[in-house]
Amino acid sequence: MLLRYALKRALFSVPLLLGITLISFLVLHLAPGSPVSARGSLNPHISPESIRELRALYGLDKPLSTQYWDWLKRCAGFNFGDSFQDRQSVLSHILQALPATLLLNGVALLLVFGLGLPLGIFSAIRSGSPLDRAFTLSSFLAFSIPAFVLALFLQLVFGAWLGWFPISGFSSPWSMGQGWLAQAGDVLWHLVLPVWTTAFGAWVTVAQYMRNSTLEVLSQDYIRTAFAKGLGARRITLRHALPNALLPIITLLGLSVPGLVGGSFIIETIFAWPGMGRLGYEAAMNYDYPLVMGVVVMGAVLTVFGNLLADICYAVVDPRVRY
Protein backbone atom coordinates (compact mmCIF):
# COMPACT_ATOMS: atom_id res chain seq x y z
CA MET A 1 0.00 0.00 0.00
CA LEU A 2 2.64 2.45 1.14
CA LEU A 3 4.87 1.56 -1.77
CA ARG A 4 2.07 2.10 -4.24
CA TYR A 5 1.33 5.46 -2.67
CA ALA A 6 4.98 6.48 -2.89
CA LEU A 7 5.23 5.35 -6.50
CA LYS A 8 2.05 7.15 -7.43
CA ARG A 9 3.29 10.36 -5.89
CA ALA A 10 6.68 9.97 -7.56
CA LEU A 11 5.02 9.48 -10.94
CA PHE A 12 2.96 12.60 -10.44
CA SER A 13 6.10 14.65 -9.96
CA VAL A 14 7.53 13.76 -13.38
CA PRO A 15 5.27 16.10 -15.40
CA LEU A 16 5.80 18.73 -12.73
CA LEU A 17 9.56 18.51 -13.20
CA LEU A 18 9.19 18.63 -16.96
CA GLY A 19 7.06 21.73 -16.65
CA ILE A 20 9.63 23.39 -14.43
CA THR A 21 12.50 22.65 -16.79
CA LEU A 22 10.47 23.81 -19.81
CA ILE A 23 9.52 27.10 -18.17
CA SER A 24 13.05 27.72 -16.90
CA PHE A 25 14.46 26.91 -20.32
CA LEU A 26 12.07 29.25 -22.09
CA VAL A 27 12.53 32.08 -19.60
CA LEU A 28 16.29 31.73 -19.87
CA HIS A 29 16.51 31.56 -23.65
CA LEU A 30 13.87 34.17 -24.39
CA ALA A 31 15.43 36.66 -22.02
CA PRO A 32 17.20 39.31 -24.06
CA GLY A 33 20.94 39.07 -24.02
CA SER A 34 23.02 36.06 -24.85
CA PRO A 35 26.05 34.20 -23.55
CA VAL A 36 28.23 35.55 -26.32
CA SER A 37 27.73 39.13 -25.15
CA ALA A 38 27.92 38.39 -21.46
CA ARG A 39 31.61 38.84 -20.84
CA GLY A 40 31.15 41.98 -18.80
CA SER A 41 33.09 44.36 -21.01
CA LEU A 42 33.57 45.37 -24.61
CA ASN A 43 36.51 43.60 -26.09
CA PRO A 44 37.93 45.18 -29.21
CA HIS A 45 39.63 41.92 -30.12
CA ILE A 46 36.35 40.06 -30.63
CA SER A 47 35.01 40.40 -34.12
CA PRO A 48 31.37 39.84 -35.16
CA GLU A 49 32.48 36.72 -37.09
CA SER A 50 33.91 35.08 -34.01
CA ILE A 51 30.66 35.85 -32.20
CA ARG A 52 28.76 34.02 -34.95
CA GLU A 53 31.19 31.13 -34.63
CA LEU A 54 30.66 31.10 -30.90
CA ARG A 55 26.88 30.87 -31.34
CA ALA A 56 27.29 27.91 -33.63
CA LEU A 57 29.67 26.31 -31.16
CA TYR A 58 27.16 26.65 -28.33
CA GLY A 59 24.39 25.32 -30.57
CA LEU A 60 22.47 28.55 -30.17
CA ASP A 61 21.81 28.79 -33.90
CA LYS A 62 19.40 25.83 -33.78
CA PRO A 63 15.66 26.31 -33.14
CA LEU A 64 14.66 26.50 -29.48
CA SER A 65 12.62 23.29 -29.60
CA THR A 66 15.64 21.37 -30.90
CA GLN A 67 17.85 22.89 -28.21
CA TYR A 68 15.39 21.92 -25.49
CA TRP A 69 14.99 18.39 -26.82
CA ASP A 70 18.78 17.97 -27.04
CA TRP A 71 19.16 19.23 -23.51
CA LEU A 72 16.43 16.91 -22.24
CA LYS A 73 18.00 13.90 -23.93
CA ARG A 74 21.35 14.65 -22.37
CA CYS A 75 19.75 15.19 -18.96
CA ALA A 76 18.21 11.73 -19.10
CA GLY A 77 21.78 10.40 -19.01
CA PHE A 78 22.67 12.72 -16.11
CA ASN A 79 24.77 14.80 -18.45
CA PHE A 80 24.01 18.46 -17.94
CA GLY A 81 26.53 19.62 -20.51
CA ASP A 82 29.52 21.92 -20.19
CA SER A 83 29.60 25.43 -18.84
CA PHE A 84 29.93 28.03 -21.60
CA GLN A 85 32.46 29.96 -19.56
CA ASP A 86 35.27 27.47 -19.14
CA ARG A 87 33.97 24.33 -20.91
CA GLN A 88 34.14 22.32 -17.69
CA SER A 89 31.20 20.01 -17.00
CA VAL A 90 28.24 21.48 -15.14
CA LEU A 91 28.33 18.57 -12.74
CA SER A 92 31.91 19.35 -11.69
CA HIS A 93 30.95 22.97 -11.07
CA ILE A 94 28.04 21.85 -8.89
CA LEU A 95 30.16 19.34 -7.03
CA GLN A 96 32.72 22.04 -6.29
CA ALA A 97 30.16 24.48 -4.93
CA LEU A 98 28.05 21.95 -3.05
CA PRO A 99 30.24 21.30 0.01
CA ALA A 100 30.35 24.97 1.05
CA THR A 101 26.59 25.29 0.81
CA LEU A 102 26.00 21.96 2.56
CA LEU A 103 28.24 23.05 5.40
CA LEU A 104 26.64 26.47 5.80
CA ASN A 105 23.07 25.25 5.57
CA GLY A 106 23.70 22.04 7.48
CA VAL A 107 25.04 23.90 10.49
CA ALA A 108 22.26 26.47 10.15
CA LEU A 109 19.64 23.73 10.01
CA LEU A 110 21.04 22.10 13.13
CA LEU A 111 20.86 25.45 14.84
CA VAL A 112 17.35 26.12 13.58
CA PHE A 113 15.91 22.87 14.84
CA GLY A 114 18.15 22.61 17.87
CA LEU A 115 17.07 26.03 18.98
CA GLY A 116 13.60 26.31 17.51
CA LEU A 117 12.06 23.04 18.70
CA PRO A 118 12.87 23.32 22.42
CA LEU A 119 11.95 26.97 22.44
CA GLY A 120 8.62 26.31 20.75
CA ILE A 121 7.74 23.48 23.14
CA PHE A 122 8.82 25.45 26.15
CA SER A 123 6.90 28.50 25.16
CA ALA A 124 3.78 26.38 24.56
CA ILE A 125 3.96 24.63 27.89
CA ARG A 126 4.52 27.89 29.70
CA SER A 127 1.99 29.63 27.48
CA GLY A 128 1.42 33.15 28.78
CA SER A 129 4.55 33.25 30.90
CA PRO A 130 6.97 36.19 30.56
CA LEU A 131 9.26 33.92 28.59
CA ASP A 132 6.49 33.10 26.15
CA ARG A 133 5.65 36.76 25.75
CA ALA A 134 9.27 37.60 25.19
CA PHE A 135 9.42 34.86 22.59
CA THR A 136 6.39 36.16 20.70
CA LEU A 137 7.78 39.65 20.73
CA SER A 138 11.19 38.58 19.57
CA SER A 139 9.69 36.46 16.84
CA PHE A 140 8.00 39.59 15.55
CA LEU A 141 11.35 41.29 15.50
CA ALA A 142 12.98 38.36 13.80
CA PHE A 143 10.38 38.26 11.04
CA SER A 144 10.89 41.95 10.44
CA ILE A 145 14.57 41.74 9.59
CA PRO A 146 15.24 40.69 6.01
CA ALA A 147 18.25 38.42 5.61
CA PHE A 148 20.31 40.93 3.65
CA VAL A 149 19.72 43.67 6.23
CA LEU A 150 20.69 41.30 9.02
CA ALA A 151 23.77 40.24 7.08
CA LEU A 152 24.89 43.84 6.67
CA PHE A 153 24.22 44.63 10.34
CA LEU A 154 26.20 41.60 11.46
CA GLN A 155 29.05 42.57 9.15
CA LEU A 156 28.90 46.12 10.43
CA VAL A 157 28.85 45.28 14.14
CA PHE A 158 30.83 42.04 14.45
CA GLY A 159 33.05 42.48 11.41
CA ALA A 160 33.82 46.17 11.04
CA TRP A 161 33.32 47.55 14.55
CA LEU A 162 34.22 44.74 16.93
CA GLY A 163 36.42 42.81 14.51
CA TRP A 164 35.42 39.49 16.07
CA PHE A 165 34.56 37.69 12.87
CA PRO A 166 35.72 37.99 9.27
CA ILE A 167 33.45 40.12 7.11
CA SER A 168 33.35 37.65 4.28
CA GLY A 169 35.00 34.69 2.67
CA PHE A 170 35.39 31.00 3.34
CA SER A 171 38.86 30.81 4.84
CA SER A 172 41.80 33.06 5.66
CA PRO A 173 44.90 33.13 3.50
CA TRP A 174 47.12 32.35 6.47
CA SER A 175 45.40 29.04 7.14
CA MET A 176 46.89 27.50 4.01
CA GLY A 177 49.50 24.99 4.89
CA GLN A 178 48.50 24.87 8.54
CA GLY A 179 47.29 21.74 10.32
CA TRP A 180 43.80 20.50 9.54
CA LEU A 181 42.57 21.54 12.96
CA ALA A 182 43.60 25.13 12.41
CA GLN A 183 42.07 25.06 8.95
CA ALA A 184 38.79 23.62 10.24
CA GLY A 185 38.74 26.20 13.01
CA ASP A 186 39.35 28.93 10.48
CA VAL A 187 36.41 27.81 8.35
CA LEU A 188 34.22 27.60 11.46
CA TRP A 189 35.25 31.11 12.36
CA HIS A 190 34.20 32.32 8.90
CA LEU A 191 31.00 30.33 9.24
CA VAL A 192 29.60 32.19 12.23
CA LEU A 193 28.07 35.26 10.60
CA PRO A 194 26.59 33.54 7.56
CA VAL A 195 25.15 30.76 9.73
CA TRP A 196 23.44 33.22 12.03
CA THR A 197 22.06 35.10 9.06
CA THR A 198 20.73 31.90 7.54
CA ALA A 199 19.32 30.52 10.77
CA PHE A 200 17.88 33.72 12.17
CA GLY A 201 14.57 33.94 10.32
CA ALA A 202 14.12 30.20 10.13
CA TRP A 203 14.41 29.21 13.75
CA VAL A 204 11.59 31.54 14.67
CA THR A 205 9.39 29.90 12.06
CA VAL A 206 10.24 26.49 13.44
CA ALA A 207 9.68 27.63 17.02
CA GLN A 208 6.30 29.13 16.18
CA TYR A 209 5.29 26.03 14.27
CA MET A 210 6.31 23.87 17.19
CA ARG A 211 4.57 26.12 19.66
CA ASN A 212 1.27 26.04 17.78
CA SER A 213 1.49 22.35 17.19
CA THR A 214 2.19 21.65 20.88
CA LEU A 215 -0.63 23.91 21.95
CA GLU A 216 -2.99 22.12 19.63
CA VAL A 217 -2.01 18.72 20.97
CA LEU A 218 -2.21 19.90 24.57
CA SER A 219 -5.82 20.92 24.03
CA GLN A 220 -6.78 17.47 22.71
CA ASP A 221 -9.10 15.24 24.68
CA TYR A 222 -6.60 12.46 25.29
CA ILE A 223 -4.22 14.83 26.97
CA ARG A 224 -7.01 16.13 29.15
CA THR A 225 -7.84 12.52 29.96
CA ALA A 226 -4.26 11.91 30.90
CA PHE A 227 -4.31 14.89 33.19
CA ALA A 228 -7.60 13.69 34.63
CA LYS A 229 -5.98 10.32 35.31
CA GLY A 230 -3.52 12.21 37.45
CA LEU A 231 -0.39 11.54 35.44
CA GLY A 232 2.48 13.95 36.04
CA ALA A 233 2.68 16.99 33.77
CA ARG A 234 6.24 16.16 32.77
CA ARG A 235 5.34 12.61 31.86
CA ILE A 236 2.34 13.74 29.86
CA THR A 237 4.30 16.27 27.92
CA LEU A 238 7.16 13.97 27.11
CA ARG A 239 5.33 10.72 26.49
CA HIS A 240 1.99 11.77 25.10
CA ALA A 241 2.05 15.28 23.78
CA LEU A 242 5.48 15.63 22.23
CA PRO A 243 5.50 12.70 19.80
CA ASN A 244 2.23 13.92 18.34
CA ALA A 245 3.26 17.54 18.30
CA LEU A 246 6.39 16.64 16.36
CA LEU A 247 4.39 15.19 13.47
CA PRO A 248 3.95 18.41 11.50
CA ILE A 249 7.64 19.14 11.94
CA ILE A 250 8.37 16.29 9.55
CA THR A 251 6.80 18.35 6.79
CA LEU A 252 8.95 21.27 7.76
CA LEU A 253 12.07 19.10 7.63
CA GLY A 254 11.12 17.85 4.20
CA LEU A 255 10.62 21.39 3.03
CA SER A 256 14.05 22.43 4.24
CA VAL A 257 15.84 19.83 2.08
CA PRO A 258 16.00 22.01 -1.06
CA GLY A 259 17.17 25.01 0.96
CA LEU A 260 19.91 22.86 2.43
CA VAL A 261 21.42 22.32 -1.01
CA GLY A 262 20.13 25.27 -2.98
CA GLY A 263 21.79 27.95 -0.98
CA SER A 264 20.64 31.53 -0.69
CA PHE A 265 22.43 33.58 -3.23
CA ILE A 266 21.87 36.85 -1.39
CA ILE A 267 23.57 35.52 1.74
CA GLU A 268 26.29 33.78 -0.25
CA THR A 269 26.94 36.89 -2.32
CA ILE A 270 27.16 39.21 0.67
CA PHE A 271 29.48 36.88 2.56
CA ALA A 272 31.40 35.82 -0.57
CA TRP A 273 30.62 32.20 0.28
CA PRO A 274 31.66 29.91 -2.58
CA GLY A 275 28.41 27.94 -2.70
CA MET A 276 25.52 26.97 -4.94
CA GLY A 277 23.64 30.24 -4.60
CA ARG A 278 26.52 32.28 -5.89
CA LEU A 279 27.23 29.72 -8.59
CA GLY A 280 23.66 30.02 -9.87
CA TYR A 281 23.62 33.79 -9.64
CA GLU A 282 26.88 34.24 -11.47
CA ALA A 283 25.86 31.69 -14.07
CA ALA A 284 22.60 33.56 -14.64
CA MET A 285 24.41 36.88 -14.92
CA ASN A 286 26.77 35.36 -17.50
CA TYR A 287 23.96 33.69 -19.45
CA ASP A 288 25.73 30.40 -18.89
CA TYR A 289 22.65 28.42 -19.99
CA PRO A 290 23.84 24.87 -19.22
CA LEU A 291 25.05 25.86 -15.77
CA VAL A 292 21.87 27.77 -14.87
CA MET A 293 19.72 24.88 -16.06
CA GLY A 294 21.81 22.45 -14.07
CA VAL A 295 21.39 24.49 -10.90
CA VAL A 296 17.67 25.02 -11.48
CA VAL A 297 17.01 21.37 -12.21
CA MET A 298 18.87 20.32 -9.11
CA GLY A 299 16.89 22.77 -7.02
CA ALA A 300 13.60 21.66 -8.54
CA VAL A 301 14.34 17.97 -8.14
CA LEU A 302 15.24 18.51 -4.51
CA THR A 303 12.11 20.57 -3.85
CA VAL A 304 9.91 17.92 -5.37
CA PHE A 305 11.86 15.20 -3.61
CA GLY A 306 11.62 17.02 -0.28
CA ASN A 307 7.88 17.36 -0.62
CA LEU A 308 7.61 13.74 -1.59
CA LEU A 309 9.72 12.66 1.35
CA ALA A 310 7.63 14.74 3.73
CA ASP A 311 4.40 13.26 2.38
CA ILE A 312 5.67 9.72 2.60
CA CYS A 313 7.07 10.17 6.10
CA TYR A 314 3.80 11.67 7.09
CA ALA A 315 1.97 8.70 5.64
CA VAL A 316 4.22 6.35 7.56
CA VAL A 317 3.75 7.95 10.96
CA ASP A 318 0.16 9.04 10.56
CA PRO A 319 -2.04 6.17 9.39
CA ARG A 320 -4.98 8.52 8.91
CA VAL A 321 -3.45 9.75 5.67
CA ARG A 322 -5.27 8.13 2.78
CA TYR A 323 -3.09 6.12 0.45
Partner 1 sequence: MNAPKPRALKWGAFFLLLFAGVALLAPWLSPQNPDRQSLAERLEPPSPLHWMGTDELGRDVASRMVWGARVSLGVGTAAVLATTLIGVLLGALAGAQGGWVDALIMRAVDIFLCVPTLFLVLALIVFLGPGIENVILVIALTGWTDIARLVRAEILSLREREFVLAARTAGASPWRLILKHLLPNALGPVYVSVTFGLAGAIMMEAGLSFLGLGVQPPTPSWGSLLTSGQDYLQTAYWLTLFPGLAICSSMLVIYLFGEGLREYFNPRAAQR
Partner 2 sequence: MSRGSVWAAGLVAACLAFATAGCRGRGHKDYDRVPDADVVANGDARVDASIGDAVTLNPLLAQDSASDDIIGLVFDALLRYNPGLELEGDLAKSWQVRDKGLRIVFHLRRGVLWQDGKSFTSADVAFTYRAIMDPKVACPFKADFSLVSRVETPDPWTVVVTYRKPFAPALSAWAEASILPLHLLKGRKLSGGSFDSHPVGTGPYCLVSWKRNQSIELKANPLYWEGEPHIRRYLYQIIPDPATQVLEMKSQNVDTVNLSSVPDQYRDLSRSASFREIGRTFRFPGFNEYEFFGFNLLKPMFQDKRVRWALSYAIDRKALIDSILLGYGQPCSGPYVPSMPAYNPRVTPVPYDLGKAEKLLDEAGWKRGKDGWREKDGRPMAFTIATNQGNKVREEVATILQQQFARLGIRARVQILAWSLFDSQYVSKKNFDTVVLGWGLGMDPDQYVIWDSKESGPGGLNFISYKNPRVDRLLEEGRTTFDWKKRVRIYRKFHALIAADQPVCFLFAPDSLSAVNRRFHGLLVTKTGCMWYWPTRWYVPKSIQLYP
Residues in contact with partner 1 by the rule CB under 8 A: 16, 19-20, 23-24, 27-28, 30-33, 127-128, 132-133, 135-137, 140-141, 143-146, 148-149, 152-153, 155-156, 159-161, 167, 212, 215-216, 262, 265-266, 270, 280-281, 284, 296, 299-300, 303-304
Q: CA angle 284-301-297, nearest 5°?
A: 25
The set of long-range contacts for 154-162, using a CB threshold of 8 Å and a minimum separation of 24, is 154/193, 154/196, 154/197, 155/193, 155/270, 155/271, 158/192, 158/193, 159/193
CA–CA distance, 256 with 8 (Å, rounded to integer): 23
258-287 footprint of partner 2 as x/- string (CB under 8 A): --------------x-x----------xxx
- Cβ nearer to partner 1, comparing 195 with 296: 296
319 contact, one of partner 2, partner 1, none, CB 5-8 Å limit per kind:
none
Among positions 1, 3, 30, 42, the unique one binding partner 2 when judged by CB under 8 A = 42
Q: Which does 152 bind (CB under 5 to 8 A by kind): partner 2, partner 1, none?
A: partner 1
Q: Which of 20, 25, 71, 82 binds partner 2 (CB under 8 A)?
A: 82
Q: Per CB under 8 A, does 91 bind partner 2? A: no
Q: Which does 133 bind (CB under 5 to 8 A by kind): partner 2, partner 1, none?
A: partner 1
Q: What is the 3-state secondary structure (H, E, C) of 171-236?
A: CCHHHCCCCHHHHHHHHHHHHHHHHHHHHHHHHHHHHHHHHHHHHHHHCCHHHHHHHHCCCCHHHH
Output Rg (C-alpha) for the chain, integer angstroms.
24
Angstrom distances, CA of residue 306 to CA of 13, 124, 202, 292 = 11, 28, 17, 21
What is the three-class DSSP state of 165? coil
Q: Nearest approach, Cβ of 8 to partner 2 (angstroms)? A: 38
Contacts with partner 2, residue ranges (CB under 8 A): 32-35, 37-51, 53-54, 57, 82, 85-88, 96, 111, 114-119, 122, 163-176, 182, 185-186, 188-189, 191-192, 272, 274, 285-287
